[in-house]
Amino acid sequence: MTDFQFETGKEFAVAMDARDPLSDYRNRFFIPQHAGQDCVYLSGHSLGLQPKSAAAYVQQELDDWAALGVEGHFRARHPWMPYHDLLAEQTAAVVGAKACEVVVMNSLTVNLHLMMVSFYRPTPSKHKIVIERGAFPSDQYAVKSQLHYHGYDPATSLIELTPRPGEACLRDDDIVSLIAHSGNDIALILLGGVNYATGQAFDIEAITQIGHAKGCIVAFDMAHAVGNLQLSLHECGPDFAVWCSYKYLNGGPGCVGGCFVHERHAHSTHLPRFTGWWGHDQESRFEMPSTFEPMFGAEGWQLSNPSIMSMSVLRASMDIFHEAGMGQLREKSVSLTSYLEFLLHANASAKFSILTPKESTRRGAQLSLRIRQHGHKLCDKLAEEGIVGDWREPDILRVAPVPLYNSYRDVFRFVQRFSELMV
Ligand SMILES: *Cc1c(COP(=O)(O)O)cnc(C)c1O
């Protein structure tokens, strides 16, 4: 719960923006335009906005490619061969890991499969996978296909955590007790850091602890958590985590994703893994040896030489994250989302409810609103006015004020028009 003192008037939003130490960061991003004005963009959980600096970062690589051709691998201003290293420290800082535990590569679902190849090791007596009911479809497909691949049937080997009747979110206690109860059969626990639909943040530390006590591999899909929550993956200790970089991390559509492998597995060369040359020891990679020797840590899971253009955009955004700091960003985020919640409560109506947990420790920036009737139409009407949330069938409007580029006035304007347009 929060102890903020909010007020309902517009002057309050204006005053909060004036006092916000992060307010200038908004000017570092392109805000989509509508009728000559900034949109109220509340879809950063879906696609983050473009840093104005991104073009220069990409241009640098285009220029080096033009001037140097293949030599750019070694002689570019930021040589392409170790280019992903430029992102390691900042990525580690954002997820609370050591640099050797993270790597930027591929895209989320690909990384999820690569990780499951190594860490989902079912046996006849311990083969089940735990996910959230209604997990993001790609995660469901990936997990079910892994079960099939190993000869198991999702009908009997997949456990889907389900909220209690009449509740929208899972109770932390229920998750822990299910694992405590059924953990002996469970090979892998894979939950979202933040559930994409409800916005619920899970207790990574508690789930990891009980999962490990039961001998399970514990993993998180951080798509909606990275760049949103203040994380400490190393200390909380899950075995692996994966994420994409185009949501809160503003890496641009289809941007290269990320992966965390806990340090305890850094030397686990016995783990089966799907390998490629970019995961091979950097010293001898270009000697083209026929025997694979993995790089130390998460980098050893790389397959291919990565997209420099895509990573250059991500660098532009990560430099901004580094400057602002996750601590400050999260502080503003908690305040901004609490303000959104406060205004929604002030305009309470039987026509909608908030699904996301009330406690700020159990959510990130996003609030999910269940709209009883005609919600899709409402979402469309808002969009026609340049107020951008997103709609999830059958009845959820997701809105996320993002601390890097959203203002208190954005939140005010959203709630004002939301309440007026609700029929
Ligand atoms: C956004 C998202 C994805 C998208 O996967 P891609 O492989 O990046 O297309 C997958 N899972 C979750 C939980 C997501 O939020």
Looking at residue 389, which CATH number applies to its domain? Answer: 3.90.1150.10
Q: 271 and 302: one domain?
A: yes
Taking the alpha carbons at both ends of the chain, their separation in whole angstroms is 30
Residue 73 lies in a domain: no
Residues 188-230 have pLDDT tens digits of: 999 999 999 999 999 999 999 999 999 999 999 999 999 999 9
Residue 21 lies in a domain: yes
Angle between helix 308-324 and 326-346 (nearest 10): 80
Q: 223 and 350: one domain?
A: no
Q: What is the pLDDT of residue 1?
A: 43
Give the phi and the psi of residue 227 in degrees, each rounded to 5. 75, 5
Q: Give yes or no for residue 108 CB within 6 A of ligand 1.
A: yes
- DSSP state letters, 190-251: EEESB-TTT-BBP-HHHHHHHHHHTT-EEEEE-TTTTTTS---HHHH--SEEEE-SSSTT--
Q: 310 and 364: one domain?
A: no
Q: 127 and 115: one domain?
A: yes
Q: 316 and 332: one domain?
A: no
Q: Give yes or no for residue 196 CB within 6 A of ligand 1.
A: yes
CA distance 159 to 130: 5
Q: 340 and 308: one domain?
A: no
Residue 184 lies in a domain: yes
| Most ligand 1 atoms within 8 A of CB, residue of 108, 144, 249 to mutate | 108
- Per the DSSP assignment, residues forming a β-bridge with 160 are 131
Residues 77-87 have pLDDT tens digits of: 999 999 999 99
CA 46 to ligand 1 centroid distance, Å = 10
Q: 172 and 236: one domain?
A: yes
Q: Examine the fold and report which residue of 305, 321, 337 is the final residue of a domain before the chain moves on.
A: 321
CA 71 to ligand 1 centroid distance, Å = 35
Residues 405-418 have pLDDT tens digits of: 999 999 999 999 99
Q: Give yes or no for residue 41 CB within 6 A of ligand 1.
A: no
Q: Which atom of ligand 1 is nearest to the CA of 257?
A: 8
CA 56 to ligand 1 centroid distance, Å = 28
Q: What is the pLDDT of residue 288?
A: 81
Q: 351 and 311: one domain?
A: no
Q: pTM of this prediction?
A: 0.96
Q: What is the pLDDT of residue 3?
A: 67
- The parts of the chain modelled with pLDDT lower than 50 are 1
Residue 65 lies in a domain: no
* Nearest to 181, CA basis, from 154, 152, 151, 216: 216
CA 286 to ligand 1 centroid distance, Å = 33
CA distance 154 to 164: 22
Q: 338 and 317: one domain?
A: no
For the chain, give percent helix, strand, coil, nearest 5.
45, 15, 40
Q: What is the pLDDT of residue 289?
A: 83
Which residue is closest in CA terms to ligand 1's atom 2? 223
CA 269 to ligand 1 centroid distance, Å = 28
Q: What is the pLDDT of residue 387?
A: 98
Residue 337 lies in a domain: yes
Q: Give yes or no for residue 414 CB within 6 A of ligand 1.
A: no
Q: Examine the fold and report which residue of 294, 321, 348 is the final residue of a domain before the chain moves on.
A: 321
CA distance 406 to 271: 44
Q: Examine the fold and report which residue of 280, 299, 321 is the final residue of a domain before the chain moves on.
A: 321
Q: 309 and 197: one domain?
A: yes
Residue 127 lies in a domain: yes
- The enclosing domain of 161 has a CATH number of 3.40.640.10
Q: 138 and 202: one domain?
A: yes
Q: 102 and 207: one domain?
A: yes
Residue 399 lies in a domain: yes
Q: Give yes or no for residue 221 CB within 6 A of ligand 1.
A: yes
Q: Give yes or no for residue 192 CB within 6 A of ligand 1.
A: yes
Q: Give the residue numbers spanning the domain of 173.
A: 82-321
Q: What is the pLDDT of residue 344?
A: 98
Number of domains forming the structure of the chain: 2
Query: Contact at 8 Å (CB) between 249 and 321?
Result: yes
Residue 193 lies in a domain: yes
